[in-house]
Structure 1
Amino acid sequence: MATQEERRTQTRDALLAAGATLFAARGVAGASVDAIAHQAGRTSGALYDHFGSKEGLLFALLESWVDDATQAITADQAAATTLEEWVAAMWHAVARPPSGDDRWIALEHELWSYAAQSDEARRYLARRYRAAWDGVDAVAATWTGPAPDTPDVRVGPAVIGLLLGLEMMRRIDPSAVSDETAIAALRGVLVGASDRAATR
């Protein structure tokens, strides 16, 4: 017989799986708490107990997938011996995510649309992306030199924006964005920003 902790974990996992399925099929706004709970074979009260709200479940789902991608990126980037290898690790974690299949990036895009209607979602995105930008800025400096003192030469927002945009284009037409094209474009942003900073 499962312990209470095991049952809670099973319920959480069932709700996350149901949320992933319904958010992908119906969008964030179209996936109701009741529908997610029903899909999971649980009650809406269980969803509120574990996540506080539908948005809380959405954020937890994205965080689990982003955490997996971050771990994969970090491990691969730690082994990188060239800037191309470092950039490739970032690209591969988005183009071929270690968990969530391609649903996590679709859900990421869905969250952008939902954030236009939800202050909570917008604050969540802003907080998460600021952390991602800061992380890219800090680590990129090891390849391109120290960050400039001028705040307008940050590479983090440009790299993350290009990374997601390239993935969107590849989703539309996989042959349009090869791995080589994506890696060269991302490397170009990093090197270009470094060159710009050096001329100041």
Structure 2
Amino acid sequence: MAAMDTDTPADAAEARTAMTAPSGGTRADLLALTPDTLAALTNRGLVKRASKDIDAGRAPALTVGEDGRVRADYAGAAVAELPPGAGLDNGSCGCGATGVCRHLIGLVLAYQRTASTHGTAGTPAAPATPVAPAAPATTTPAPRATGPVPAPDGAPPTPTPPAPPTPPNPPADWSPGAFDDETL
């Protein structure tokens, strides 16, 4: 890979994430991994850390071998590799971690961003930032609007549909001890 002039931090980040095109095509397995999937396979902290590193301009230099092996060089700090057709647990990294590390997660996130930036992917890359958890469900229903609903462009207003009927009162609490032998 040839050296590039970098005048701005964005140029420097792009130079570090420059990727050689694989002869066998893109790695659909890496593009299909969402941040939630990565968090389920490892933990949310590793995904956040790897994403923050890339956002801060500390993305690895990626190369893709003829066989589809993706290699991420973290500026001399660590080198992570992920062979084709293998899961994250079969990847390797020189950082010394015993399992999947932030460098392997960063390899996936950087590959996704680079593939979407360079248009090498046939499908859009997954978002590289962690997805916020869904808001908890509320137990109280939202208040219903009353009155007619305004219609666009001067059309007559649409009447509000009637509220659903109120369910009947539940039966009163009872106790089996309240019945005597004659009643039974």
Please, what TM-score do these two structures have when normalized by structure 2?
A: 0.26
Which one has a bigger Cα radius of gyration?
A: 2
Q: TM-score, normalised by structure 1?
A: 0.24
Structure with more helix by fraction: 1
Structure number with higher relative contact order (C-alpha < 8 Å, ≥ 6 residues apart): 2
